[in-house]
Amino acid sequence: MTSASMKSSRSAPPVAAPYAVPRVAPQRRWRPALVWLAVALIAAGGLIAAAVLRKVGTTAEYLAVSSAVEVGSTIDRSDLSTVRITVDPALKPIRAGAADEVIGKYAAVGLVPGTLLTRAQLTETAVPGQGEQLVGLSLPQERMPAERVKPGARVLLVVTPVDGPASGQQQTTAAPINIMATVVDVRAGIKEGTTLLNVAVPDRDGPLIASRAAAGQIVVALTPGS
């Protein structure tokens, strides 16, 4: 290395490292409308949650059936119990505080233990009413309309003739007997495939309906408006 090159290397200034210029983040504009909208949404959500919690978490005492009550029987205090539950708005059970309004009324339908009591199951009229008899009919499916007979419906009881003539007698084509009745209660029969109807019929027709029902000679027909 020559003396000239050594002199130039000593006199050259040092190279400075590149300087990073700091970047300033742009400042966001404050939008009051969006802030107030967020606050309103949070408040509305809180109110809705509080309302749902209050509705779901609120329980009350209602009347329930503690023992079986037959149709037309008087409801006694011993037939009732109280339960504390949260009730669905679609149900309309009777509050426990209204027990005195229930005692002494009649069961419009058969009351089953363990079920809630509603006013639709009660009546102030004795069942059967004055001049009526309550008759139970155990009918197979082919002798009544399919799943349309309900308590309170007016039905026509058709008494069919005997299947065949008695020995030594000539068969006659007699018109069937038609008797109007009111359905009081509907439930599943003891035998499979049968339905038990409790019907109120006039006093004069009670024995006939009972005897023909035992012989399997009753057919139920719905009347217009039932």
Q: What is the DSSP string of 141-187?
A: GGGS-TT---TT-EEEEEEPPPSSPPTT-----PPPEEEEEEEEEEE
Per-residue model confidence (pLDDT) at position 115: 93
- Cα separation, 42 vs 24, in Å, equals 33
Per-residue model confidence (pLDDT) at position 38: 78
DSSP H or E stretch at residue 133: strand 132-140
Residues contacting residue 43 through CB under 8 Å, at least 6 positions apart: none
Please tell me the pTM assigned to this model.
0.54
60-123 is a CATH 3.90.1210.10 domain: yes
State the DSSP code for 25.
P
Q: In the chain, what are the domain boundaries?
A: 60-123, 132-163+174-222
- Cα separation, 177 vs 200, in Å, equals 17
Per-residue model confidence (pLDDT) at position 168: 47
Residues in a beta bridge with 117? none
How many Cβ atoms are within 10 Å of 143's Cβ, its own excluded?
Answer: 19
178-215 pLDDT, tens digit per residue, is: 999 998 888 888 888 888 888 999 999 999 999 999 89
Per-residue model confidence (pLDDT) at position 108: 82
How many residues in the chain?
Answer: 226
216: left (phi over 0), alpha (psi -120 to 50) or beta: left
Give the residue ranges of the chain where pLDDT is below 50: 164-169
How many Cβ atoms are within 10 Å of 40's Cβ, its own excluded?
Answer: 10
